[in-house]
Amino acid sequence: KLYDLYEVVGFTLNKEYIKSETYNGLPVYPAETLENYVDPEQVKFFTAVSWYQKLSRVRAEKFNFLKSKGFHFANLISPSSIIDSTDIGEGNWVFEQVYIAFNAKIGSNNVFAPKSSAANYSSIGDHNFIGSHSNVMGHVNIGDRCFIGGSSVIFNRTEIGNKCLIGAGSVVRKSLPD
């Protein structure tokens, strides 16, 4: 609703967490039986669960669970961001003033905090968090479920493995294993 990109039609939670049949005047559906209420071809989902807990584990689990049921995901992209790449997965959350360059490859279910960037020929896998003011610059490959702290810079044809944690303000120019 903030960016007026989509019409919100409902919410879903695991059945054990549902306390009411509605939230903000919209229905709340049990995730376990969601296909009984919602046609996967008629709506797109957005996973709004936390992105930093256990390197995005919960966010990845919810995304993969709904994908396994045939659901599709919307990208939530701030109108103030510039996305020049056409190689972007689904379910990405792109905050304000993010720049993703022409030849960057972006997977699915990533979070790009404000003023972060992914430069030409960079590749970012799935379920990652890229912190505010962080720059992924040129021929960098980042695996899945990584956390890149705010104001970090990764460059120089660097390979970042899966589940890596890069602290805020880091400068990374050498590859890191899983």
pLDDT in tens, 137-157: 989 999 999 999 999 999 989
Instruction: Label residue 4 by pLDDT band (50, 70, 90).
Output: confident
Q: How far apart are CA 151 and CA 16, in angstroms?
A: 38
Q: How far apart are CA 31 and CA 155, in angstroms?
A: 40
Q: How far apart are CA 166 and CA 70, in angstroms?
A: 33
The answer to whether residues 8 and 25 touch, using CB atoms and an 8 Å cutoff, is no
User: Does residue 101 have a pLDDT over 90?
Assistant: yes
Tokens of 100: 């993703």
Q: How far apart are CA 124 and CA 133, in angstroms?
A: 16
pLDDT for position 90: 97
Q: Are strands 171-172 and 26-30 parallel, antiparallel or unpaired?
A: unpaired
What confidence tens digit (pLDDT) does each residue in 12-25 have? 999 999 999 999 99
158, 163, 167, 170: CA torsion to nearest 10: 0
Tokens of 78: 């701030």
**Cα 156 to the center of its chain, rounded Å:** 24
What confidence tens digit (pLDDT) does each residue in 41-64 have? 899 998 877 656 666 788 899 999
